[in-house]
Every structure is written in structure tokens, then in C-alpha cells.
Structure 1
Amino acid sequence: MTALAVLRAGPLTTVQDLGRPGLAALGVSGSGALDRGALRLGNRLVGNDEGAAALEITVGGFSGVVDRDVWIAGTGAWGPVTLGNRAIDPNHPVFAAAGTPIEIGVATFGLRYYLAVSGGVAVPSVLGSRSRDILSGIGPPPLLDGDTVPIGSPRTGAIPALDVAPWSPPDPETVTVPLHAGPRESWFTPASLDLLFSEPWTLGSASNRVGARLEGPVLERSAAGEGELPSEGMVAGALQVPPSGQPTVLLADHPTTGGYPVIGAVASAALDVFAQLRPGQRVRFRHARPL
């Protein structure tokens, strides 16, 4: 079988597709690529179905080599990517001859690269997906130096399917994200609700695929929010507020239930932004239009 040999895996490289939605009743979160737009684009560029599995490479520091000729595309984060001794552009399909090293350096903009390969990453599927869920441990483990990753057979037809896709680099400064009112908004004081939208929030260093931890003003509970909240179902995008008053945006590998009140909810379409935020970057929330 055709394979990609991992020479250096970097800090965290996982296999991701579009996840395993619809299993929350079984306690299984959707998981999947944090930047779904980048995954879909990479797959289209190399002629795969949009939901094919690819590598999600956090920060960079990855190198590998394939044992047959393939098309590759790097999307998501921007940084130094080389094929052999040649630099390649982001969001651009490139023909990679068998045995040519692929190197992905530390990202300059954004945080997570997606490396799509014609034929897709063909690790075994678990519960309908090839994605790794780092919270539950479901799916293939994170890649290590020396691992070998199987590659599927490419589709027939023209490859590349697209020559290039115009795409702006991830925003290096403050990003603004629409936020809907949450089911437990009344648990917080009016002053805290004002702070949620008026003040910037900083992405904390403890953020990961489970959640984006935000640092900023303390969100205080109202009289209605005193006491314990029974565990409730959680979705990606829920903005939970623990006792510290510092909110967390739940991401793809979130738990399916939680006991912290949800003050707001980021729409699914806006969640890709959090895949590319780096610790220290700032986020502002704006009121989303009513659904």
C-alpha cells in the first residue's frame, strides 16, 4: 500500500477528517478538523472528496516522504513549506514525486496546517471517522517520528482539480467573532454581559482541541446564578464560564456534557477562526444576528 513515512512529527500531528457527528447521545463528540474550511480546500485542490482525511499539523516542525507520486496541498496556517529544495505556496496543489521530502516549518501566521494528499489518509475508520479525538482517545493516535501513514488510491479525473485558491493569511491581530446569547445568560450580571462584548479577550496558553481558554475580565454570576447547575448537553461553540469567571469556547473535541453555565454560543460557521488563533492573540465578541 502507498504510504507516507513520517520523519519528524512535530509537537502535535493528528489525522483529521470532518468528524463523527450525531453520536452525542453515546457520549462521543463530533471531533474532526478544527479548521474545516482549510481541510475542505486542501482536499478540493488535490482532487479528493472534501471530507477525506488529511494531517492536522499544529505549529509545524513536520517532515515526511511518500513512496509514490502524489499531489499535495498545504492549507490553514502560513509558513515555510518546502518540497525537496523548492518552496511551495499555501493553498496551491503541487506534484510531489516519490521520495521527495516534504518539510513544514514553524507557522508564521495561524497555528494549524492541513496537509492534504491525493487519495487521502487511509487509516482505519472508527465510528465512521478517521479523526483523532484527543479528549476521549478515539481514533488513530497522534503521529510519532518513524510512523507510516497509509495513503488511499487517488480518484480518477483531472488533478489538480483547482490550480490555486485565493485565500488571505490568518489575521495576526485581534479577530472579531459573532456570539449568540446562551441558555444561561441570565446567570450573569448585566455588567458581566456588557464586559463580554465590550472588552477584548486573550487566548490562553492552555488552549487545545478541546477548548479555547480565554483570559480577560472576570464574568460574575447574578443572584439567579447561585447554586449548582446540573450537567447539560454541550455543543462545539458553547461559551462556558467556570467558577474562575474566565470563559472557554468548546471546540471539536469537547465533552458532550458539562456543568458550567453557558453564557453564549459561537455559531458553527465561525469556529474555524479558533483553529488558527495563537496564544496571546486577542478576540472580540459581537452580537450575532438572531437566528
Structure 2
Amino acid sequence: MTIFIERVGPLATVQDLGRDGWFDSGVGHSGAADRASLRLANRLVGNPEDFAAIEVLLGGLVLHADTHVTVAVTGAPAAAYLDNMPVGHASVLEIDPGVTLRLDYARSGLRSYVAVRGGIDVPKILGSRSRDTLSGIGPEPLRPGSRLPIGPAPRTLPTVELAPTTDYPDLLTVTALLGPRDDWFTDADALFRGHWVVSVDTDRVGARLDRVDGPPLSRASAAELPTEGVALGSVQVPPSGQPIVFLADHPITGGYPVVAVVLDADVDRIAQARPGQRLRFLRAVS
């Protein structure tokens, strides 16, 4: 059982929930940038939540299979079509052999997820089928002509046929816990005043932010910070003063101070923020 990729948009990769336990060897966690959307897609088709699926940047994916497949598309709401017939987002799709699934470009959000019952069964590398775009570990990004094996159907069955779609507001509000290096700034609370906008320099490694209004994030000194570990959601601030929120493929160490860390529940939302998205931070109470 095989999926055939006919066309891709800007980027499409195979992702599961990432690889654990390799930080001490210099290998990051990686996995789906929007974990909640991957989990939902898998639940819709009756897979365990950690099965591998296709992460699609913006849309533009066209595929077909050589057998009947059960598929769901979640995340950024790209209009989906079976051949030329429109079908619902975040719903269970039954696709006959040779029928194409086509995703238009998403109207909002950044990443869509295509799950198939049985999962994408490419070989695991260090315990995961995910592509890490920073290290180059994992299956190559998809291209026209790529073939993806489908795994055996699990014993579980889909429990829902349709899920609520996600709202992507004009102003994204996320919560962050100040520190651990907030003392490296003259006014670390400036992060929580005014608004930011996601720059064009955003990918699976991180989302760079530009200031819209409010005070700058200024360093208290020009001293060098020793390299130290950084976590998913870390808000690292280079000398430019433009914060970078680390996402799925972030480096495991960094040499710039981390002013705050976005709460885990909000990391998926930043992963769906496209360039031009306005954002503000709320301070979490520790």
C-alpha cells in the first residue's frame, strides 16, 4: 500500500511526535510543529496519536494511493478536493484507488496535516519517522514522484467523523514564563508590552519577531553568555533585539540569552502563525 506524491507546495515533510532521549548526543526532538493538529488527524482516522503523517507548509499538495485509504486533513484550513469535488476540513475522507487528494493554499494558518489510517510507514531513525530540517535527520522532504508506504491499519477505529476547525485570530495572544536569563536585559518586561509581528524569517526552527510598538528588548551588557541548553518555546534574543521563539527543529543549545519561555500549550499556536501575524505576550505567574 503506497501513497504517490504528484505535487508539493513550498514544503511537505513526514512528521510524527518526534524523537526522545537523544539530547545528550546532540540530536533535537523535532516532530510536528503543531502537535495538536497531528494528534487530531490521527484520531480522526483511528490511528494512535503518535503515528507519522504529512506536514504541509501552506498547501499545494496533490497525492493519490494505489488502494482505498482513510484520510483526514487538519491544521491550517487548506481547501481540500477529491478529484474536483470539495470535501470538509477536519473530517474523515474515504479515498478510492487513483482518486487524487488536492490541497489548495490555506487561507489562514501555516501548516496542514494529512494523516492516513495505518500511518506513513517510512523507516524510523533514532526512534522517529520525523524529518529534522535543522540536522537533516529523517526522511527527505517530499517532492513530485515521492512514494510513501502505508502501515497496517491499527485495531482501533475512528471515534468521530468531524472535528471543530481551529480559529486563527488577527491578534495572537500567547503566555510566557519570564526567565531564565531575564536579568540580562535592562527591561525584560518589555516583552509583555506592546505588540510583535512574525517576520518572514520563520520556519520549523523558530519564528523571528519584529517589534510593532512598545519598548525595545535591550541587553544590560555586551558580555558573552556561555552556551547552554534551550527548550522548545524558548524566546531567545540575539543582539538585534528581535526575539526568536524556538519551534520543533530548534537547536538544543544556544549562546544568546533566553528572556522567557512560551508555555507548551501555546507553542503549537505560534507554529501556525504566518509572516505578518500580530502577536502579544502575556506574562505567566510562576
Interval of TM-score (by shorter of Structure 1 and Structure 2): over 0.9
Displacement of 1:12: 0.3
CA distance in structure 2 between the aligned counterparts of 1:14 and 1:28, rounded to whole angstroms: 18
CA distance in structure 2 between the aligned counterparts of 1:80 and 1:136, rounded to whole angstroms: 32
SS state of the match for residue 103, structure 1?
strand
Q: Deviations over 1:131-153 (max 9, x none)?
A: 00000000001001111111111
Residue 133 of structure 1: aligned partner:
132
Within 5 Å, which residues of 2 pair with 1:38-57? 38-57=37-56
Unaligned runs of 5+ in 2: none
Residue 233 of structure 1: aligned partner:
229
Within 5 Å, which residues of 2 pair with 1:205-284? 205-216=200-211, 218-222=216-220, 225-284=221-280
Structure 1 contact 78–169 (Cα < 8 Å) conserved = no
Displacement of 1:195: 2.3
Alignment root-mean-square deviation, CA: 1.1
Displacement of 1:83: 1.1
Q: Deviations over 1:57-110 (max 9, x none)?
A: 001111000111011000000121111222111111111111110000100011
Displacement of 1:51: 0.4
Structure 1 contact 62–105 (Cα < 8 Å) conserved = yes
**Range that drifts further, 161-170 or 43-52:** 161-170
Displacement of 1:120: 0.3
Picking from 168, 171, 177, the partner of 1:170 is 168
CA distance in structure 2 between the aligned counterparts of 1:92 and 1:34, rounded to whole angstroms: 21
CA distance in structure 1 between the aligned counterparts of 2:109 and 2:277, rounded to whole angstroms: 10
Q: Which amino acid aligns with 1:284?
A: R
SS state of the match for residue 274, structure 1?
helix
SS state of the match for residue 90, structure 1?
coil
1:194 and 2:193 correspond: no
CA distance in structure 2 between the aligned counterparts of 1:120 and 1:21, rounded to whole angstroms: 19
Displacement of 1:282: 0.8
Displacement of 1:157: 4.7
Q: Which amino acid aligns with 1:240?
A: Q
Structure 2 contact 176–283 (Cα < 8 Å) conserved = yes
Q: Which amino acid aligns with 1:27?
A: G
CA distance in structure 1 between the aligned counterparts of 2:177 and 2:51, rounded to whole angstroms: 31
Within 5 Å, which residues of 2 pair with 1:8-87? 8-87=7-86
Q: Structure 1 residues 273 and 157 mapped into 2: Cα distance closer, same or farther (>3 Å)? A: closer
SS state of the match for residue 285, structure 1?
strand
CA distance in structure 1 between the aligned counterparts of 2:181 and 2:29, rounded to whole angstroms: 23
Structure 1 contact 176–283 (Cα < 8 Å) conserved = yes
1:99 and 2:98 correspond: yes
CA distance in structure 1 between the aligned counterparts of 2:96 and 2:155, rounded to whole angstroms: 18
Displacement of 1:174: 0.8
Identical residues among aligned pairs (%): 48
CA distance in structure 1 between the aligned counterparts of 2:242 and 2:156, rounded to whole angstroms: 50
SS state of the match for residue 25, structure 1?
helix
Unaligned runs of 5+ in 1: none
Q: Deviations over 1:223-279 (max 9, x none)?
A: xx4311110011111110001011100111011111000000011221000121110
User: Structure 1 runs of 4+ off > 6 angstroms?
Assistant: none
Displacement of 1:162: 1.3
TM-score, with length taken from structure 1 = 0.95
Structure 2 contact 47–156 (Cα < 8 Å) conserved = no
**Range that drifts further, 275-284 or 210-219:** 210-219
Residue-pair matches, total: 283
Displacement of 1:161: 2.6
